[in-house]
Amino acid sequence: MVLPLRALLAGRRRLPRPAAAARAPAAAARLCSGEAEAAGGDGAMLQHLARKLRASGPVTVAEYMREALTNPGQGYYTRRGGVGESGDFITSPEISQVFGELIGIWYISEWMAMGKPNTFQLVELGPGRGTLTEDILRVFKQLASVLSKCDVSVHLVEVSPKLSEIQAVMLTGGKVQPNPEDESAYMKGISKTGIPIFWYRDIQDVPPGYSFYLAHEFFDALPIHKFQRTEKGWREVLVDIDPEVPDQLRFVLSPSRTPATQNFIQPEETRDHVEVCPEAGVIVQRLASRIEKDGGAALVADYGHDGTKTDTFRGFRNHKLHDVLSAPGTADLTADVDFSYLRKMAQGKTATLGPIKQREFLKNMGIDLRLQVLLQNSGDTATREQLLHSYDMLMNPEKMGDCFNFFALLPHHRLVHPDKKDKPESKSPLPPVAGFNELLLK
Ligand code: SAH
C-alpha cells in the first residue's frame, strides 16, 4: 500500500492551498548563526523586568527568555506572534506547501509501517500560524481512501492566545468552541477537512493514546540556561540591570556556582561556553514515555547542533537580527537546539534517528520528484520562479538546507525486530524509516 504516496508525490497538480506557495523573497528565515545588532524601542516588558531586577537581583537567561517570550501579559508570543512574512521570521512551512506535504507523507508512511493502527492523534507543539498542520491535513484528505478506517484527531499545544486564534481561523475557518466542558483542552473545533482539533497549553494535557508528534521550530523557542567557564570554575550567565545606564539590561556572571551549573554541566565538558534547555529535556522525556507506552513517533525539525556549539542565543525582529537584551517582548528570542541533549533525555525509552540535514531529509522524502512534476505542470513563469525560489530556500546548504535538522523518536520495535524467538516467522526486514532513508515508492 505504498502506491498512494507515489501518486501524491507525482500528482500533476499542486494540492490546492489557500495562500501562495512561496512568499516574498524579502522574508528571511532565522538561520543558525550571526552577529546581533542593536535596536531601540523599549516598552512595558522592559519596565516590568527592570522593576523585578531592582527588587530581587539578576535572573537566569532562562527566566529572562521565559518572561520575554511567554509572559501572559507582555510576552512576545503572547502579544505579537511573529511567524510569517508580515512578522519577524519566516519558517519552512510558510515558504512552501511542499514542506508540509512531505511531512504529511512521512506520518502516513510511518503509520503504514507500524501496521496501520485504527486510530491516531497528530500532536503539534508550537504550531505558529497553523500552516504546517493545514498542509498535513490536506495530504490526509488526499489520502482519505488509505486512512478511511482510521480515526484521526489533531491536538495543538500552544501557549499564545494570539497564535491560537490565527490557527483556529486557518484550520477551522474560525468555528471553534472556547473552554469546552469536560475537556482538558482550552478550545476545540473541526478542521475544514472534518477532523476534530483540540488546543492545550501543555503537552501533559493532551490525552494519552497512539500519537504522532511534531515539533517544528518549537524547541529553539524554549528557555535556555547559559554557562561560562572561568578561572574559578563554571559560572551561570545572568541578566541584570545596568547600574550606569537607566533601564538598560546587561549580562553578568553569577558570583559562584548556581544550582543549574551543578545540575547541567557534565564533568567531561570541553567547551568554554554551554547552553542547556532543561524544558526541552523534560518535554522529550514526556514524548519518549508516551511513545514507549502508547505507540507512535515524534518528528522534531529545528536548527541545531549535536552538542558542539557554544553561544547561539539571538533575537529576531522584522526579519533582522536583534540584540537579545534590547526591547524584550518585541523580538523573537531563540537558541540552537542541542540534539545530543534531546537524545540523552529520551533515556533509551525510544530509539532516536538523526539529526540529519533538512536537505537530505527532504531529498529522501522525494522533494525533487515533487518539484519536477509541479514545474512541468505550472503554466506561468511567475509560479515556476516561485517554486524554484522556495525549493532553493529549503534545500540550499547556505540557506535552510544545512542548518535545519530532522530528528525522530521511534519505538524500539520500529527499528529492531522484537525477540524473534517469540515470532520465528517474522523474518521480513522492517521497512526503512522514510526521510532518514529513501521513501519507498515501490
Ligand atoms: N511551528 C511553527 C511556529 C514556530 S514559532 C512554524 O514552524 O511555523 C514557535 C511556536 O511555539 C509558536 O507557536 C509559539 O507560540 C509556540 N510556543 C513557544 N513557547 C511555547 C511553550 N512553552 N509551550 C507551547 N507553545 C510554545
C-alpha 326 – ligand 1 centre gap (Å): 21
pLDDT of amino acid 428: 74
Q: What is the CA radius of gyration of the chain?
A: 22
In this structure, is the dihedral angle defined by the CA atoms of residues 79, 403, 439 and 384, taken in order, positive or negative? positive
Can you tell me the distance from the alpha carbon of 414 to that of 411, in angstroms, rounded to the nearest whole number?
5
Residue nearest to atom 10 of ligand 1 (CA): 126
Ligand 1 mutation pick, 80, 218, 220, max ligand atoms within 8 A of CB:
218
CB atoms < 10 A from the CB of 267, how many?
4
CB atoms < 10 A from the CB of 357, how many?
18
pLDDT tens digit sequence for 171-215: 999 999 998 887 899 999 999 999 999 999 999 999 999 999 999
* Cβ–ligand 1 contact at 221 (below 6 Å): yes
* Cβ–ligand 1 contact at 365 (below 6 Å): no
Can you tell me the distance from the alpha carbon of 94 to that of 117, in angstroms, rounded to the nearest whole number?
31
pLDDT tens digit sequence for 303-350: 999 999 999 999 999 989 999 999 999 999 999 999 999 999 999 999
pTM, 2 dp: 0.92
| E-strand stretches of 15-173 | 59-60, 119-125, 151-157
C-alpha 225 – ligand 1 centre gap (Å): 19
* Cβ–ligand 1 contact at 70 (below 6 Å): yes
Can you tell me the distance from the alpha carbon of 129 to that of 166, in angstroms, rounded to the nearest whole number?
6
Atom number, ligand 1, closest to the C-alpha of residue 332: 5
pLDDT band at 19 (very low <50, low <70, confident <90, very high): very low
The region of weakest confidence among 109-118, 174-183, 415-424 is 415-424
Which element (helix H / strand E) includes 415? Answer: helix 412-415
* Cβ–ligand 1 contact at 433 (below 6 Å): no
Can you tell me the distance from the alpha carbon of 249 to that of 329, in angstroms, rounded to the nearest whole number?
13
Residue nearest to atom 6 of ligand 1 (CA): 128
C-alpha 334 – ligand 1 centre gap (Å): 11
Sorted by sequence, the CB contacts under 8 Å of residue 389 that are 6+ apart come out as 22, 25
CB atoms < 10 A from the CB of 269, how many?
13
Rounded to 5 degrees, φ, ψ at 369 are -65, -45
